[in-house]
Amino acid sequence: MILDSLHSAFLLLVSWDAEMIEIVAVSLRVSCASTLVAALVGVPSGVVIALNRFPGKRLCLTVLNTLLALPTVVIGLLVYSFISRRGVFGPLELLYTQKAIIIGQVILIIPVVTTLTIAAISRIDRRYRRTALTLGATSVQMGWVILKEARFGVMAAVIAAFGRVIAEVGISMMLGGNAKGFTRTMTTAMALEYDKGEFVLAIALGAILLTFAFSINLMFHFLQGRIRGDDV
Amino acid sequence: MRVTLWAALAGLIMMTSVAVTAAADEVITMSTTTSTQASGLLDILLPQFTEASGIEVKVVAKGTGAAIRDGMDGNVDVIFVHAREREEQFVAEGYGTKRYAVMHNDFVIVGPADDPAGVRGSGDVQEAMKRIADHSALFVSRGDDSGTHTKEQQIWRLSGVPTEEVGTEIVKGGTPVTLSFVVPADSEGWYRSIGQGMGKVLTFADEMGAYTLTDRGTFIKYKYGIDPPISLEIVNEGAPELANPYGVIPVNPEKFPHVKYDQADTFARWLVSEQAQQLIGSYRLEGKQLFFPDAIAQ
């Protein structure tokens, strides 16, 4: 079965199957959008939390770490109850759209980006901070310097978050509804093929997902390599 | 190198956004049961409808219970399901405008080829269920509030096998209500409620050597349409209690002013039109007819 699946995956990729392309496009678009939004929120929050001392910081970290364990089904239900027609945001017509999936996924990975950013920043030598401060940097300037220093760790945080959303199925299924041509992603398509008993096609889609995830990570890897090369 | 890669990344994102925004002008959302989608029928019907009307149908496939729920919450424009009494109640309570009878197929009881409970030759379906219960033979239930699950509970009640209600107490609108299901009494040892779609129930029953109730369409698909096929066989069929009618209902615009009623009604009317009915009647999977049109004489 595995060999059949790999063969089918290869055929789908080589023939550039229109339906497959659409599914892959939906997946990539949704995952890129939610990663981008989560990074815009999560990275600055991570920097602020890591660099400042404030009452309740420990509690805040504990809460963030707990949120890492939030099941996708819980997020799905929570968002569903808000954007269902009967919910507070019902009139916005969000349910069963790509936007709905993005909202759910952003909630899923903001804790991932934030905690990993905090970890990356905390690893940076304290002397950088002091030096920056003695040179008269404002807190924003200092944050920027530290962030630049911690960029590999932060990049890793964003990549981890991207991996989490592109592999996620619960939120996409509940909020997107697996509507063909609209909200069918690679993972919900796999779940459907499994439901239909088409295991070969399901695994083939899995192989394609890994291929795309691999190429995107490879791209990030080269980007990182280039940046590092410039500096040395 | 760096610039090229960034450009490639940006290009990728752009390409994906363009690919997705190219859709038809008018789109309605339909909640339907997994059987219409998994059987492949919608793949035949919907492109023809879009061609005839310019309206595209966005399909969300769930169990019948969840699909009706979507209609009652106004989350979709039209529902296409199979649980007649609940559909009529849906219309009577004002959530839907009218039920159009589209087609039917039937339910069958399937079980392992060696038929440990001796269900073959049991005649009516009541006797079949009784034999399964008497032998404490493994039985797999959808357990997901779907149309098939509704039918299964009806049949247990009819069969004369002692049943019991298992329920969970929850609070709705401030008042406590009980969500309850009928199961055969004292069946912990042999009754498995797995809360999954029809396909998963069939593969599960096949692995366990169990009996289950299934719609004929999904069974044919799993018996003849996939590789490797399941080894379950039909052990009881044909009783009038096993009829499985499908209906389509546009969601009522008086209840939910935002629904696209005109387009939804166009779709419902098209499903009972000559063209659609003929497509339904001539749809074959592995050489077998899955659905029988109800709106025109065949």
How do the domains of chain A map onto residue ranges? 25-185
B2-104+245-293 is a CATH 3.40.190.10 domain: yes
For range A55-79, the mean pLDDT: 93
pTM of the model: 0.78
Provide the token pair at B273: 């039109």
- Report whether pLDDT(A133) > 90: no
For range A31-46, the mean pLDDT: 95
Structural domain boundaries of chain B?
A: 2-104+245-293, 106-243
- Report whether pLDDT(B227) > 90: no
Under a CB-based contact definition with an 8 Å cutoff, are residues B62 and B33 in contact? yes
Give residue B145's pLDDT band: very low, low, confident or very high (50, 70, 90).
Answer: confident
CB < 8 Å to B23, chain A: 181-182
Probe site for chain B from A17, A180, A221 (most B CB atoms < 10 A):
A180
Burial level of B5, CB count in 10 A (0-12/13-18/19+)? middle
- Report whether pLDDT(B252) > 90: yes
Identical fold for domains B2-104+245-293 and B106-243, yes or no, is yes
Provide the token pair at B213: 């109730």
Chain B residues at the A interface, defined by Cβ less than 8 Å, are 1-2, 5-6, 8-9, 12-13, 15-17, 19-20, 23, 27, 29, 34, 37-38, 56, 58-61, 73-76, 197, 199-200, 202-203, 221-222, 225-227, 230, 256, 258
- Report whether pLDDT(B176) > 80: no
In angstroms, the CA A67 to CA A50 distance is 17
Using a pLDDT cut of 70, give the percent of chain B over it: 91
In angstroms, the CA B59 to CA A128 distance is 55
Probe site for chain B from A88, A193, A195, A200 (most B CB atoms < 10 A):
A195
Chain B CB within 8 Å of residue A90 CB: yes
Give residue A194's pLDDT band: very low, low, confident or very high (50, 70, 90).
Answer: confident
Helix (H, G, I), strand (E, B) or coil at A19: helix
Provide the token pair at A34: 């939610």
Under a CB-based contact definition with an 8 Å cutoff, are residues A212 and A25 in contact? no
What confidence tens digit (pLDDT) does each residue in B81-101 have? Answer: 999 999 999 999 999 999 999
The topology (CATH level 3) of B106-243 is D-Maltodextrin-Binding Protein; domain 2 (3.40.190)
Architecture per CATH, A25-185? Orthogonal Bundle (1.10)
In angstroms, the CA B203 to CA B194 distance is 12
